[in-house]
Amino acid sequence: DQQVKQNSPSLSVQEGRISILNCDYTNSMFDYFLWYKKYPAEGPTFLISISSIKDKNEDGRFTVFLNKSAKHLSLHIVPSQPGDSAVYFCAASVGGGGADGLTFGKGTHLIIQP
């Protein structure tokens, strides 16, 4: 049973437009969420995170929105750039001292078209 779901395996967006990547979770105990970006032949790199006490967190072109009632979060990239083409993983954790590892979604391959 997948606790973190990224239902879109791939997404194609035109350069300069907004990219919206979605993520759903089923475990109501999750209270900390992260997004990672992965290029081929490299390990994932941390992008942005959000705690469940917030509903929005911004970092430059990247904004993550959290809707706890819907158990849904999204990553917005504005404007999208060619270097944003990568696989994006949503991850969740039970924080507050828990030693559980991160639970990842299967990833969404974002393709930015020129």
3-state class (DSSP) for residue 70: coil
Phi, psi (rounded to 5 degrees) for 43: -75, 160
Nearer to other proteins, 60 or 114 (CB): 60
Rounded-to-integer distance, Cα 3 and Cα 92, Å? 9
Question: Does residue 110 interact with other proteins by CB under 8 A?
Answer: no
For 53, the 3-state DSSP assignment is coil
Nearer to other proteins by Cβ, of 5 and 79: the residue is 5
Amino acid at the residue 109: H
Give the shortest CB-35-to-other proteins separation in angstroms. Answer: 11
Kindly identify the residues of this chain, within the stretch 8-67, that bind other proteins according to CB under 8 A.
32, 34, 36, 41-46, 49, 51
Judged by DSSP in three states, 7 sits in coil
CA angle 51, 82, 113 (to 5 degrees): 110
How many residues interact with other proteins (rule CB under 8 A)? 26
* Closest CB to other proteins among residues 43, 83: 43
Least distance from other proteins to the Cβ atom of residue 15, Å: 27
Which residue of 85, 105, 110, 112 would you call a contact of other proteins, by CB under 8 A? 105
